[in-house]
Structure 1
Amino acid sequence: MQTPHSPAAPLNRGMITLSIMLATLMQTLDSTIANVALPHMQGSLSASQDEISWVLTSYIVAAAIATPLTGWLTARFGITRLLAIAISGFTVASALCGMSESLVQIVGARLLQGLFGAALVPLSQSILLDINPREKQPQAMAIWGVGVMVGPILGPTLGGWLTDSYNWRWVFFINLPIGAFALFGVLTYLPKGRQTRPIKLDFFGFATLSLAIGALQALLDRGQQLDWFNSTEICIEALVAGVSFVFFAIHTATAGKDSFFRYELLKDRNFVTGTCFIFVIGAVMYATRALLPPMLEALMGYPVATTGLVTAPSGVGTMIAMLLAGRLVARLEVRAMLLAGFLISAVALYQMMGYTLVLSESDIVWPGVIQGFGLGLVFVPLSAVTFATLSPELRADGTAIFSLLRNIGSSIGISVVQALVTRNTQVVHSALVEHATTSNGALNQYFDPGSASSMESLNQLITQQASMIAYVDAFKLMFIVTLCVVPLLAVVRTRRRPAGEEAPHVAMD
């Protein structure tokens, strides 16, 4: 299945990297680019607010279910063929999304997008690891990380511009030229290998894991809307997710080599620790990005375009850190870089804990840049050390699980912080109202208890203050979580390349 590359046909690493990064950027952009266009889609497709949310959830659920299949599909078809199929399918599905005339059509097209796009991120990571010698892998992971982490951050800004300048359909049509260039590069520059051996798919393992992931994603996406476990639907989804995962775990432990999940991955200490870290990074990064826009727009009256401009610089910090880390990781101790990155991210969250209703644009921009820099500093050495001790034949499965844990972490993080903001706003509002009485002389100097309009203004002010406190509490939670994972660095082991060890061969198909 692996094809060592012949010196007579040197790899064009630059074009391969550009091609697969275009595919990665296309997929990661689509995870957030449609968010700002939802109100426009809702009117065009005659959908309710609840119904239009399935444009987002259908994509997430389909991608989550299909991601674990990446390892099996790679072994069955080979990386080159699978990547070409994934890019083609994702591009066609994007065109179908843009041409949709009803809610059913666009939800179906988004399901296809998720199914085809699920393999793009793990395959791109696996290819970059394969085509680069060990000493170049950190730089390769830096380039890969730019597409993975910056795409979701820039998505809302680009989506808002396309929607305002043209219409919501261009949020999807933008993928067509990107997909065409990526497909051309893959078919032209990636080496073609011999036919792979047929292997058997563990359908029971895949089915139980898919049910668990799908039910969990549905629970997380609809929990806040349906009041969590006060809803029968949420209780059923939680039961299905729990029971399915238990069956999957038991099956994996007893099926041996026939299991869908490669249990050998759990024997690699670096890989297990790395997936724990990426879970937390996904939760903290995406949760912060999910909190800031509604906070700025609802509490401070920021226009959508301005919100995009003040949150986008965090992506600049991430890119700078990744490019810098790609050069430093070969010279510095990996655990020291990880520690520095987590502490820098914690500093940014600590600054956000001091937010009030009176903020300048620089108060938003600089903590975002600092947090982006810290996360970028973590991502490159983390990606390198997670796979440093993993055998090449496990990389496709490993990168799929790595991406899956990042996605699940982001979903859980977003759902938890949004639920906490909603709940804490109500709790703090009730606590503040207890002090807003006619006996409060200081309050009566500014508000007339006998005036309905004055009391309405007071209630709006209390709601704003309660919401701001709730947002600060959410930032505090992420600050604590970031610090709590730092001790895990003690179990990470670095692997230095012995003198005279040859760089790994290229393994495509």
Structure 2
Amino acid sequence: MITVSLMLATLMQTLDSTIANVALPHMQGTLSASADEITWVLTSYIVAAAIATPLTGWLSDHLGVKRLLAIAVGGFTIASAFCGLSETLPQIIGSRLLQGIFGASLVPLSQSILLDINPREKQGQAMAVWGMGVMVGPILGPTLGGWLTDSYNWRWVFFINLPVGAFALFGVLTYLPDRRKGTGHALDFFGFATLSLAIGAFQALLDRGEQLDWFGSLEIQIEALIAAISFAFFIVHTATAGKRSFFRATLLLDRNFVTGTCFIFVIGAVLYATRALLPPMLQTLMGYPVATTGLVTAPSGIGTMIAMMLAGRLLGKIEARLLLLTGFLISALALFLMMRYTIVLSRANIIWPGVIQGFGLGLVFVPLSSVSFSSLGADLRADGTAIYSLMRNLGSSLGISIIQTMVTRNTQISHSSLVGSVTPFNAAIREQFDPNSPMSMALLDRLIGQQASMIAYNDAFKLMFIATLVIVPMLVLIRKPRHHAKPDPEDLHVAMD
């Protein structure tokens, strides 16, 4: 029952990272917002969650895990109700900020508790269950959001959290034992402030960069400067403050944890960037309606769930590094198929690469979560899971921003290159298009634009394919975790009253 309650809370939080995407046009009309303004419904949630995530360790020390989790679930559920009841843009942005603040602790806390309540030989299966909520949630979010918006209205995208949150809160209060509080060390306000400012400025830079032509904008330059200076202060402070530092520098001494956070950063970038690329590609280039787009992209979640269940069972029998290598190679195969997409695609051409990629990432996620925390002490568990989740979020933000910018710019470059071949001396053009007909020339320009966009999307998939292969050699840095060790009460890290 503890696991069920935790997974309901995790699924609720991860779904909300993408479930509102397809509802934005409907919300825009209701809230009288411009296209630029309505995007803050998404970015305000991401920024608030990114800033509040590193507080998880300190809050769990002072409040206790059960109390913090109950506050997070209850606050997130109430904030969801506020989102659904919002009548103006400032109201929904404020409610989304509250959602991000309360929801920031849900994912790291659920991971930490599942690791605590399971013996070492069962932690692989526990991470498989946890990973389903973390990875399947963002994948299924647009499909569920589209169905709720079409069948009811956009407010139900948020109201759906009310029964889920109520069940999760009941389970947490009823079945989760009280765990002793930690050391209760004082909050390093300067470290938290500098890290929060760096994350907030960097997130704003990523969200606004594409609209403002990146470093050609004064706003982007200022945000980059603030992020760089704040992060520099944070690094110096962390190196000199010792045990008083907000960031537990001891985490950097664990090689598996550091390597795991690098991997999860890349996984976040590849997973979320792919999810961000496919819907606009299918809708703008191939004319898919929103509902059909959700249906053809949703099966990737099936591949993820199958792989996670399989990996949870294989982790104690097959070395984690071998599972990771297999998962990365399968993911690379899916991206290889995607970078060969053309304008004319059958639904099978879209579904199967998605299923393959979902299977590969699912095969990676479980052993990666297990080995990243296999040698981390109980006193570092809450801080470690918070940083792990933070790196996944930052990777997804950076990946989406880079890929979207790359698609926009490469579309323009490819369009210019293709137009250069359209001349009166091109026999193929003369045979099919009348240069004296405006309608014929408009059709030709439309076809050129489609091909240019397709080339840009292929280039983006190729970049993710290369990134997936480049990180594979880092597997040699992972130490082989112990398997089938006899569970010792202290080693299980269960500090329950």
Q: Note whether the superposition's TM-score is higher than 0.5.
A: yes
Is contact 1:130–1:508 with CA below 8 Å preserved after alignment? Answer: no
How do 1:267-416 and structure 2 match up within 5 A? 267-416=253-402
Match of 2:124 in 1: 138
Q: Deviation string for 1:406-447 (max 9, x for gaps)?
A: 000000000100000000000000000011011112211001
| Structure 2 residue aligned with 1:82 | 68
Q: Cα deviations across residues 40-75 of structure 1 (Å, max 9, x unaligned)?
A: 111001111111111011000000000000011111
User: Match of 2:436, SS?
Assistant: coil
Deviation at 1:498, TM superposition (A): 7.1
Local SS of the residue matching 1:358? coil
What is the Cα deviation at residue 193 of structure 1?
3.7
Q: Distance in 2 between matches of 1:224 and 1:169?
A: 28
Q: In terms of mean alpha carbon deviation, does 138-147 or 229-238 score higher?
A: 229-238
> Does 2:226 match 1:240?
yes
Q: Give yes or no for the alignment of 1:432 onto 2:418.
A: yes
Contact 2:378-2:493 within 8 A present in 1 as well? no
Which segment drifts farther, 365-374 or 230-239? 230-239
Aligned-residue identity in percent = 75
Q: Does 1:218 align with 2:197?
A: no
Shift of 1:499: 5.3
Match of 1:485 among 468, 471, 494: 471
1:501 Cα deviation (Å)? 4.8
- Give the conservation status (yes or no) of the 8 Å contact 2:338–2:458: yes
C-alpha separation in 2, matches of 1:508 and 1:149 = 29
Whole-angstrom distance in 2 between the partners of 1:365 and 1:21: 26
Closer/same/farther in 2, CA of residues 455 and 486 from structure 1, 3 Å limit: same
CA distance in 1, matches of 2:305, 2:209: 34
**Structure 1 residues 189 and 229 mapped into 2: Cα distance closer, same or farther (>3 Å)?**
same
Task: Report how far residue 100 of structure 1 moved.
Answer: 0.5
Amino acid at match of 1:463: G
Counterpart of 1:173 in structure 2 is 159
Partner of 1:11: none
Structure 1: 5+ residue stretches without partners: 1-14
Residue 502 of structure 1 corresponds to 488
Shift of 1:212: 0.5
Three-state SS of the structure 1 residue aligned to 2:392 is helix
Aligned-partner residue type, residue 507 of structure 1:
A
Instruction: Report the RMSD for the aligned CA atoms in angstroms.
Output: 1.0
SS where residue 432 of structure 2 aligns?
Answer: coil
Q: Counterpart amino acid of 2:55?
A: L
Q: How many equivalent residue pairs?
A: 495
Give structure 2 stretches of 5+ with no counterpart.
Answer: none
In structure 2, distance between residues paired with 1:61 and 1:469: 32
SS at match of 1:163: helix
Residue 5 (structure 1) aligns with: none
Q: Which residue is equivalent to 2:144?
A: 158
* Structure 2 residue aligned with 1:4: none
Question: Could you tell me how far 1:507 is from its partner in structure 2?
Answer: 2.6
2:81 maps to 95
Cα distance, 1:494 vs structure 2: 1.4
Partner of 1:258: 244
Which residue number corresponds to residue 460 of structure 2?
A: 474
Q: Which stretch of the first structure deviates more once superposed, 490-499 or 327-336?
A: 490-499
| CA shift for structure 1 position 505 | 4.3
State the alpha-carbon separation in 2 of the partners of residues 82 and 111 from structure 1. Answer: 18
Matched, 1:30 2:16: yes
- Residues 445 and 195 of structure 1: is their aligned pair in 2 closer, same or farther, counting only changes over 3 Å? closer
Amino acid at match of 2:481: R
Q: State the SS of the aligned residue for 2:402.
A: helix
Secondary structure in structure 1 of the residue aligned to 2:186: coil
Q: Supply the distance in 2 between the matched residues of 1:225 and 1:262 (Cα, whole angstroms).
A: 36
Cα distance in 1 between the residues matched to 2:79 and 2:412: 41
Does the 8 Å CA contact 1:346/1:483 hold for their aligned counterparts? yes
Contact 1:131–1:507 (CA under 8 A) maintained in structure 2: no
Contact 2:121–2:484, Cα closer than 8 Å, also in 1: no
Write the letter of the residue equivalent to 1:494: K
Deviation for aligned residue 1:129: 0.1
